[in-house]
Amino acid sequence: MTREFPYAHAPRLPEGDVIDLAQLFTPALPLRPEESLELEIGPGRGWFIFERLEAAPAVRMLGLEIRRKWATIVDDRLRTRGFASRARVFAEDARLALPRFPDASLSVVYVHFPDPWWKKRHQKRLVLGAGLLDQLARVLIPEGKLLIQTDVEERAAAYEALVSAHPAFAPATGTTPRIDDHAYVARSPRERRAMEDGLPIHRLHYRRLSRSSSALPASGEAP
């Protein structure tokens, strides 16, 4: 007797070169003018998404979580708690899924405590690298925000060097992307644990510059 692959039916994004994001929700309605769409990369147990939905009634959320188990559990929980019209989590590698998102479709992207590995041999598993960042520049709306949090200072320094050198991003406010706290109200599981344990959290907050003020080519243009 063969044992079924656990979470074989994890929620996956539909096929196609460009995903119609409105179709992911139930009912499949386009965003209303007052609504905005936010993305969390690697939501894990998903608490941030639930808290964000409660705190911001005009926000819809998507999550891309590489672990089938957590994508399934969180997406099921969203549905049973009545959030299917506003939030979904898919079992996807964000690095492969984001290129299929439409241009300028997201108002905020959150990357909370990614990349807990810091040994050299783990380098290729890093989620937040140059390729993903180019995609974030493409899918964020002008003045859209990118929040990155980590408890590894070495990682924060590397992310800061990477994002600050990108022509499409600037600190969300002032001259440094480093912030003591954010105003999104919700907390990710790891963020909450670090706060309870009194551990430092390194936070970087960027805005996506308007297309005219950045040197980044629009989608379809030659690099």
Ligand X SMILES: C[S@@+](CC[C@H](N)C(=O)[O-])C[C@H]1O[C@@H](n2cnc3c(N)ncnc32)[C@H](O)[C@@H]1O
User: Nearest distance from residue 129's CB to ligand X, in Å?
Assistant: 10
Question: Which of 60, 187 has the CB closer to ligand X?
Answer: 187
C-alpha to C-alpha distance for 132 and 152, rounded to whole angstroms: 20
Does 127 contact ligand X by CB under 6 A? yes
- 10, 25, 37, 42: which one binds ligand X (CB under 6 A): 42
Give helix 153-164 / helix 130-139 axis angle, nearest 10°: 60
How many other CB atoms are found less than 10 A from the CB of residue 26?
12
Question: Which of 135, 188 has the CB closer to ligand X?
Answer: 188
User: Nearest distance from residue 191's CB to ligand X, in Å?
Assistant: 6
Q: Which amino acid is at 160?
A: E
Does 201 contact ligand X by CB under 6 A? no
Cis before residue 27, ω within 30 degrees of 0? yes
CA angle 175, 35, 10 (to 5 degrees): 95
Residues recorded for the chain:
223
Does 112 contact ligand X by CB under 6 A? yes
- 72, 105, 107, 188: which one binds ligand X (CB under 6 A): 188
User: Nearest distance from residue 72's CB to ligand X, in Å?
Assistant: 13
C-alpha to C-alpha distance for 46 and 40, rounded to whole angstroms: 9
Binding site for ligand X (CB under 6 A): 41-44, 64-67, 70, 93-95, 112-114, 116, 127, 188-191
